[in-house]
Amino acid sequence: AYLKFDDSKLGKFVHPDELPEIQAMVTAADKELRDGTGAGSDFRDWLNLPENYDKDEFKRIQKAADKIKSDSKVLVVIGIGGSYLGAKMAVDFLNGTFYNSEPDDKRRGVKVVFAGNSLSAPYIHDLLNYIGDDDFSINIISKSGTTTEPAIAFRIFKEKLIKKYGEEEANKRIYATTDAHRGALKQEADANGYETFVIPDGVGGRYSVLTPVGLLPIAATGADISQLMKGALDSSKEYTNPDVNKNDAYRYAALRNILYRKGYTTELLENYEPNMRMFSEWWKQLMGESEGKDQKGIYPSSANFTTDLHSLGQYIQEGLRDLIETVVKLDKPDYDIDIPKEESNLDGLKYLQNDTVNEVNTKAYEGVVLAHTDGGVPVMTVHIPDQSEYSLGYLIYFFEVAVAISGYLNGINPFNQPGVEAYKNNMYALLGKPGYEELTKKLDEELKD
Ligand code: PA5
C-alpha cells in the first residue's frame, strides 16, 4: 500500500472478533456506496472524479493559472466551507508555512490569500493592506452563488480591482467557480464575462477539492495538479475491495465505528507539521458534515503536535477517556536539518547532536503513541511518504472514501448537510433579506424576551 495504515496499537481497545464481526456491515456499506442504493446517492460523483473529470476544463484551469502567474502577484481566493478548506489545506501542505513571504524569484507561483471565510472586518482591512498596490486577480468560489460571507468579500475586493484596473480589465481578472447553471454568481459571471469553472452537481462542497474549487488556487502556486489527480486516481483504484483486511480506508472506517460504539466519541486528527494544520480543518469539515446528524456521530477535532503536547497533551493523557487519535504522519518532509554541534554541553543537548530535527520529531511521535495508548487512548496512524502532490491526492481520497463507508456503517446519509442551513435563515431574517419577513417578526419577538 502507498499509504501505510498502522492500527497495531489498538489491541487493548478492540477485541480480535470485532473486525470480522463488522465485516458484513462494511460489505453492505460498500454495496450501498458503489451501487447507489444508500442515502444521498446523487452526491457520489466524487467517487469517480479522479478518472472522469472534465479534461478540457482542466487544461483551461492550467491556462488560467499561467495567466494569473504572468499578470498578478497575488490571487485572492474567496469562498467558505467546502469552497475554501480544500484549497487552503492543499496550498499550505504543498508550499509550506512561509510560501507567501518567499522572494518572487523563489516562489513557484503567485501569492495565494483567502477571503470570505469569516465576517471579520479587521481581517478584510488587513488583507486589503496586504495586497496594497500589487497586481492581483480574484477567484470567487461558491456553489450556490448566494453565500453571504463570500458575496460580501467579493463586493469589496471587486471594488478594489475595478478602482485599480477599470471595469473591463477587472472582469478579465475575475475567475468564478460555481454551479453550471444556477445562482447569482453564475448570472453575474455571464453578465460581466468572467471566466467560469464548474462545480459539478453531484459533488458536495466538502468533496470538491479535486474540482476547480481546489485546482485553480493550487495550480496558481505552481503546484502540479496532474500529479494530484494521479495520486487520487491510484488511491481510488486501491480502495475498492470490501474486505477490511485488504482495504485500509475501509479498515479505518470500521475501526472508528467499533470504537465509537464503545464510547470513544471524539476523534482528534493529529499532525507533526505546522503546514498540515489546515489539513485537519479540511478533515474536520469532511467528517463533521458527513457524520454529525440524526443526533449521533463522532465529534471531529484536531491537535497539532508537538505544539499541543504542551497544552492539550495533559487532557489527552489523563482526561475523559472518550478520545480516539488518528495521526497523519509525514515520513519524509521536503527538508531536514542537522542539530548543530557545540563544544560545550551547556544546554545539555549533546546526546542529540548526531540527530536531525526530523529524527527527533519522529521519536516524539513514537513516544506519544506509546504514552497515549498507555493512558487509555486508541491511536491509529496514516503514514504518508512525502509532501508531494501525488501523496496529497492519495490521502484526500483515502479520507473521502473512508467517511462515506463510515457514515453508512453508522446509519446516516453521509452526503447531505441539512444542519448548515439553520443559522443562515435566522441571519437573513435578522438582516431583513426580502422574503424572510415572517421569520424576522418572530425572531425580533424572541430577541426581546
Ligand atoms: O459543505 C457545505 O455545503 C458548506 O460548507 C458549503 O461549502 C459552504 O456553505 C459554501 O457554500 P457555497 O459554495 O454554496 O458558497
The x, y and z cell numbers of residue 237, run together, are 483504484
pTM value? 0.97
Cβ(150) – ligand 1 distance below 6 Å: yes
Amino acid at the residue 117: N
Q: Tell me which of 289, 325, 389, 400 is the catalytic residue.
A: 289
CA atoms within 13 A on the CB side of 307: 11
Asked if pLDDT for residue 160 goes beyond 90, the answer is yes
Cβ(275) – ligand 1 distance below 6 Å: no
pLDDT score recorded for residue 246: 98
pLDDT tier at 341, thresholds 50, 70, 90? very high
Mean per-residue pLDDT over the chain, rounded: 97
Cβ(142) – ligand 1 distance below 6 Å: yes
Q: Tell me which of 59, 246, 332, 424 is the catalytic residue.
A: 424
CA atoms within 13 A on the CB side of 140: 30
Which of 144, 178, 427 to mutate to test ligand 1, by most ligand atoms within 8 A of the CB atom?
Answer: 144
Cβ(293) – ligand 1 distance below 6 Å: no
The x, y and z cell numbers of residue 18, run together, are 470485532
**3-state SS of 320-353?**
CCCEEEEEEEEEECCCCCECCCCCCCCCCCHHHC
Cβ(290) – ligand 1 distance below 6 Å: no
pLDDT score recorded for residue 420: 85
Asked if pLDDT for residue 68 goes beyond 90, the answer is yes
- CA separation for the pair 225, 215 (Å, rounded): 7
Distance (Å) from CA 273 to ligand 1 centroid: 27
pLDDT tier at 11, thresholds 50, 70, 90? very high
Burial 318-333 (b: 16+ CB within 10 A, else e): eeeebbbbbbbbbeeb
pLDDT score recorded for residue 205: 96
Whether the Cβ atoms of residue 117 and residue 79 lie closer than 8 Å to each other: yes
Active site residue 424: yes
Reported as a single tens digit per residue, the pLDDT across 210-265 is: 999 999 999 999 999 999 999 999 999 999 999 999 999 999 999 999 999 999 99
pLDDT tier at 449, thresholds 50, 70, 90? confident
Mean pLDDT score, 146-174: 97
ipTM: 0.98
Which of 83, 179, 213 to mutate to test ligand 1, by most ligand atoms within 8 A of the CB atom?
Answer: 83
Give me the phi and psi of 252, to 5 degrees please: -60, -45
Whether the Cβ atoms of residue 92 and residue 278 lie closer than 8 Å to each other: yes
- CA separation for the pair 211, 380 (Å, rounded): 29
Asked if pLDDT for residue 404 goes beyond 90, the answer is yes
The x, y and z cell numbers of residue 411, run together, are 446509519
- CA separation for the pair 257, 246 (Å, rounded): 18
The x, y and z cell numbers of residue 278, run together, are 489546515
From 229, 246, 228, 230, select the one nearest 238 (Cα to Cα): 246
Distance (Å) from CA 142 to ligand 1 centroid: 7
The x, y and z cell numbers of residue 371, run together, are 504514552
pLDDT tier at 424, thresholds 50, 70, 90? confident
pLDDT tier at 411, thresholds 50, 70, 90? very high
From 132, 110, 107, 33, select the one nearest 65 (Cα to Cα): 110
With a CB cutoff of 8 Å and minimum separation 6, the contacts of 389 are 94, 223, 224, 225, 227, 228, 231
pLDDT score recorded for residue 422: 81
Whether the Cβ atoms of residue 264 and residue 324 lie closer than 8 Å to each other: yes
Distance (Å) from CA 287 to ligand 1 centroid: 15
- CA separation for the pair 211, 95 (Å, rounded): 19
pLDDT score recorded for residue 423: 86
Whether the Cβ atoms of residue 204 and residue 210 lie closer than 8 Å to each other: no
pLDDT tier at 282, thresholds 50, 70, 90? very high
DSSP-H helix ranges across 136-276: 148-165, 167-172, 184-192, 212-220, 225-238, 248-260
Mean pLDDT score, 299-304: 98
Active site residue 172: no
Cβ(300) – ligand 1 distance below 6 Å: no
The x, y and z cell numbers of residue 437, run together, are 419577513
With a CB cutoff of 8 Å and minimum separation 6, the contacts of 304 are 270, 271, 274, 276, 277, 280
pLDDT tier at 10, thresholds 50, 70, 90? very high
